[in-house]
Structure 1
Amino acid sequence: MSGRAWALLLVLCGAIFLEGIDMAMLAVAVPTIKADLGLSTGTAAWVVSAYVLGYAGFTLLGGRAADLLGRRRMFLSWLVVFIAFSALGGFATEGWMLLVSRFVTGVASAFMTPASMSVITTSYRQGPQRNRALLIFAGTSAGGFTLGLVVGGLLTQLGWRWVFFAPVLLAGLILLAAVRLIPVQRPPVRKGGFDLAGAAAAAGAMLLLTYGIVRLEHGFDGWAITLAAVGAGLLLIGLFTAIERRSPAPLVRLGILRRGSLVRADLGALLFLGSFMGFQFMVTLYLQELRDWSSLKTSLALLLMGADVLLAPTLTPILVNRFGHGKVILSGFLMAFAGYALFLPIGPDWAYLAMLPTLTLTGVAFALAYGPLTIAATDGVVAEEQGLAGGLLHTATQFGAAVGISSVTAVYGLAGSGLDAFRAALVVPVVMSLAGVLISLPGARSGRGRHTVATPGTGSAESAESAESAGDSGGSGGSGDGTGPKASGAAASAGTLAP
């Protein structure tokens, strides 16, 4: 790739790194914020949950908005919103200010992340080049979260407000670089108006379902509200489906859901992120509450789980090109399952050396599964729907994170407390990773030789030779200079970077 292509990738990775480090730093700082502002336990919990609610509720809309309104415009506009409301959190003196800050910051991420991902998938040639960019992008996200655990602990020592101000400074630098580097896009061609009814139904359904999932951690306390939220969310999904079938310009072309590889990738991402986040939450609980480790010591102990930031851009591309992303995803799930299962008999005084196999396996598993899942979720999708594909993927990951954390918390609360409750909760990520193994089996069996290219508006697909086996040809039927059908589609949509 050219120097400009690497610079663009650095900016886009900076944005996803910003998202990861922002979430992790706040998770470490919440106890200090609670004590300083005198927040109740419920309000403190919602400081974290508000972000997830905003993110999961609007990611689908954000992904489609990138396709319909312009990727560059959506990325830059919502990055400004992220900066403004992250700064509001730093100046907060009341709980409600923090809740507003985190909710709107989550909404901003819901628009930024699919936009940045679709810039990658429409600016880099399909095949090894795009795969490498996506793997680096995915590894940077996880690396940001892992590093954020440590940085959050350090910044909290200086003052918890720096947990909000540090992302503002980083986002400002990203904004300056993005204005120069993100390709200027031709105005998207839209047939019909914007699907406002579908957008409202989708956002409402996602918000209600996420709210219901987050409330699982309360157990039987207020179960009627939880069931009502989930039930209303499911009704809105039915309404959304009916609207999309009749809309001349649907927010989501339902035909895209006929792509088995995309659906399997999204379900796999939900299960993998859910199991990973649930496990990480329980390990943090074990080390801090059961072992009385400090937050900084715990963060340093978990650094090994961030091995993917090194492996994703180096080892994973080699494995994907050699075996195909299906087999690599399956191996990631198998390693995650083995790692979580090894932790089930955890004792009250296990040495750190005894934890190393699980921490190592989970870090490597993330490198093997998460990046290739992003490839599988966008592979063969036409340029005009890359934002939608990214929105579906990130909606799945955010739901997965909410399901994983809420489920282990609910099981832990229902099982009582102490080591037995911890072991009971740890069964959740074991089961989720096993389900991921089963879902990823068809993709592993299909091999690496072929992928499908969807036809917008019809839901049909045609077979094409795999970009992995085509080298740097620019996709099926393309030439070495990247001027084939896929590259020209990207050029029309994103104003070609021509890496």
Structure 2
Amino acid sequence: MSDTDASPALHSPEARARAERFTPSQRTAMTVLLAANFTLAVDFSILNVALPVIGRDLGFVTDALQWIVTAFALCAAGFTLLFGRVADLFGRKRLFLTGIVILGLASAAGGLAQEPALLLTARVGQGLATAMVTPAALSLMTTMFPDGPARSRALGLNGALMAAGFTIGAVLGGVLTGAVSWRWAFFINVFIALAVVAIGPFVLREPARLGRARLDVPGAILVTAALIALVFGIDNAGRMGWTTPGTWAPMAGALVLFVVFLGVESRAAQPLIAPSLLSRRSIAWGNAAGLLAFATFTSLVFLLTLYLQEVLGYTAVAAGLFLGVLGVGTVLGGLIAPKIIGRRGPKTAIVGGLLVQAAAVAPLAFAGTPRTWLAPVLILTFVGGIANLVAIVGYAVASTAGVPADQQGLATGLVTMSQQVGITLGTPVMSAIATGVAASTLLPGLHLAIGINAGIALLAAVLVAVFLGRTGATARPPGGLTPRREGAARSGSTR
């Protein structure tokens, strides 16, 4: 079966529109899930602009400010695979709502904090909530809809709003800090958490769990420790350099822990990650593509922020508003991705998206000092944002298609992990490249970093084209379901 194969019943625009349509109960459930994931995406970036003000208000020493970001990232990325499996075993809805409650409590504590210890504890709580809610919400979406247009649309909306959340978080953090107080970056979450907890129990549905499985505790401890060590090493690289013991020692430790984890899993009666799942090329190469897609474009935002402020001389607020164009592009990409996937399959979406992203980013490696470069930069960034989200939605579809319902939490945990590790990895790598060029000005380093960024996107497209194969190449329902049969399957999955 080729990438372009599709059920004849889904060839017409009317049939595709019916296949993508949500029922009223699904629309309400999606609203709750999307609101939660959008809020968590905002939390990744909302405090970045406010860090100096928070430091002055609470008495942080300058070197400790990075822990406001690192404490969140370590927990969000380190525990996501564990909680993805917990969602499969103990209930996605239960884990989702538990995470939302923790998010509300942690955010209230952060907004009321008067000393560094409480604020850092709150950020740990927010990170743990993210690790719970994101895979649980994604697996609720993927089990709500069967493989096909409706699932692609759901994942497209989720990708669009999460990508917009990263951009909006940076702008909103600056606005709140300047107009009211950085504390409102926490308090907003409290109101959203209350709304989700009030509505969620009545509108969220999940398939009944079959039997009782046990959590692979040794595997869970090993993979969580490995991910925390990996993220810690990556984070240190951005501040200390790649050759210091604080960088390579945790990363080497992570590698050892991953090797031990694989050995434990090969002998476990009920492994945390089923070998059959890891052997799927759609999951392995889909997640690799997702990691690189997130790493390249989130780090591009960092590079462009430096370019707009340090080279073109714009203020931080102006640079943030300019990058809002990128946010619009990513939202648009998330909306059109399901249509591309429905016609051509997720593999084509990933490869095409990464190729267009590389083509849009490459000219930015020649951006100069005149402010006349602003318009080309914004146009190319807009196009690249669209393409990046098409690739991201494609990888989410490919990495969850055909996975049994009792393993969807783990599959979406892998999707979330690749996303968060990519976000954590990209900026330190590109920062090291941009600042490592010996020159009197920053621009040559930015040129090199942006060129490498485009090259990585191109390489990722080639690797996916060669290795992803046909296992993740179709997004249509299994067995070629017609819209009527697909609708019946979809409604049954939400009972």
Give the conservation status (yes or no) of the 8 Å contact 2:292–2:460. yes
Q: Does 1:226 align with 2:250?
A: no
Deviations 1:304-328 (A, max 9, x none): 1113454245422222112112112
Q: Which residue of 1 aligns with 2:340?
A: 319
TM-score w.r.t. the length of structure 1 is 0.88
Q: Which residue of 1 aligns with 2:143?
A: 122
Q: Which residue of 1 aligns with 2:324?
A: 303
Corresponding letter in the other structure for 1:57? G
Give the conservation status (yes or no) of the 8 Å contact 1:18–1:171. no
Corresponding letter in the other structure for 1:287? L
Deviations 1:166-222 (A, max 9, x none): 12222221221212211266455224x321111111111110111111111134487
Which stretch shows the higher mean deviation, 325-334 or 24-33?
24-33
From 357, 363, 368, the equivalent of 2:379 is: 357
Which stretch shows the higher mean deviation, 288-297 or 130-139?
288-297
Which stretch shows the higher mean deviation, 222-231 or 382-391?
222-231
Deviations 1:325-358 (A, max 9, x none): 2112111101211122111112123332131232
Q: Does 1:395 align with 2:395?
A: no
Whole-Å Cα distance in 2 between the matches of residues 391 and 447 of structure 1? 20
What displacement does 1:287 show?
A: 1.9
Q: Which residue of 2 aligns with 1:197?
A: 218
Q: Which residue of 2 aligns with 1:99?
A: 120
Q: Does 1:151 align with 2:172?
A: yes
From 428, 439, 450, the equivalent of 1:426 is: 450
Q: How does 1:83-482 map to 2 (within 5 A)?
A: 83-157=104-178, 158-183=180-205, 186=208, 189-191=211-213, 193-220=214-241, 223-308=244-329, 310-312=331-333, 314-351=335-372, 352-416=374-438, 418-442=442-466, 446=470, 466-467=476-477, 470=480, 472-473=482-483, 479-482=485-488
Unaligned runs of 5+ in 1: 452-465
Q: Does 1:64 align with 2:85?
A: yes
Q: For the structure 1 residues 449 and 368, does the alpha-carbon distance in structure 2 shift closer, same or farther, using more than 3 Å as the test? A: closer
Q: Does 1:497 align with 2:494?
A: yes
Unaligned runs of 5+ in 2: 1-21
What displacement does 1:444 show?
A: 7.8
Q: Which residue of 2 aligns with 1:461?
A: none
Whole-Å Cα distance in 1 between the matches of residues 218 and 228 of structure 2? 15
Deviations 1:94-137 (A, max 9, x none): 33333222222112101110000000111113211111111111
TM-score w.r.t. the length of structure 2 is 0.89
Whole-Å Cα distance in 2 between the matches of residues 364 and 468 of structure 1? 28
Q: For the structure 1 residues 264 and 183, does the alpha-carbon distance in structure 2 shift closer, same or farther, using more than 3 Å as the test? A: same
What displacement does 1:401 show?
A: 1.1
Whole-Å Cα distance in 1 between the matches of residues 26 and 260 of structure 2? 42
Whole-Å Cα distance in 2 between the matches of residues 135 and 348 of structure 1? 37
Whole-Å Cα distance in 2 between the matches of residues 426 and 53 of structure 1? 26
What displacement does 1:292 show?
A: 3.6
Whole-Å Cα distance in 2 between the matches of residues 467 and 341 of structure 1? 37
What displacement does 1:39 show?
A: 2.6
Q: For the structure 1 residues 73 and 277, does the alpha-carbon distance in structure 2 shift closer, same or farther, using more than 3 Å as the test? A: same
Give the secondary-structure state (helix, strand or coil) at the position aligned to 1:307: helix
Give the conservation status (yes or no) of the 8 Å contact 1:324–1:447. no
Whole-Å Cα distance in 2 between the matches of residues 400 and 205 of structure 1? 15
Give the conservation status (yes or no) of the 8 Å contact 1:330–1:444. no
Q: Which residue of 1 aligns with 2:28?
A: 7
Corresponding letter in the other structure for 1:423? H
Whole-Å Cα distance in 2 between the matches of residues 77 and 445 of structure 1? 38
Q: Which residue of 2 aligns with 1:455?
A: none
Percentage of pairs with the same residue: 30
Q: For the structure 1 residues 470 and 185, does the alpha-carbon distance in structure 2 shift closer, same or farther, using more than 3 Å as the test? A: closer
Whole-Å Cα distance in 2 between the matches of residues 241 and 291 of structure 1? 49
Which stretch shows the higher mean deviation, 287-296 or 397-406?
287-296
What displacement does 1:75 show?
A: 0.3
What displacement does 1:58 show?
A: 0.5
Which stretch shows the higher mean deviation, 12-21 or 408-417?
408-417
What displacement does 1:66 show?
A: 0.5
Whole-Å Cα distance in 1 between the matches of residues 325 and 175 of structure 2? 18
Q: For the structure 1 residues 444 and 92, does the alpha-carbon distance in structure 2 shift closer, same or farther, using more than 3 Å as the test? A: same
Give the conservation status (yes or no) of the 8 Å contact 2:235–2:424. yes
Give the conservation status (yes or no) of the 8 Å contact 1:284–1:298. yes
What displacement does 1:60 show?
A: 0.5
Whole-Å Cα distance in 1 between the matches of residues 477 and 207 of structure 2? 25
Q: For the structure 1 residues 210 and 408, does the alpha-carbon distance in structure 2 shift closer, same or farther, using more than 3 Å as the test? A: same
Corresponding letter in the other structure for 1:497? T
Whole-Å Cα distance in 2 between the matches of residues 190 and 154 of structure 1? 49
Whole-Å Cα distance in 1 between the matches of residues 110 and 207 of structure 2? 33
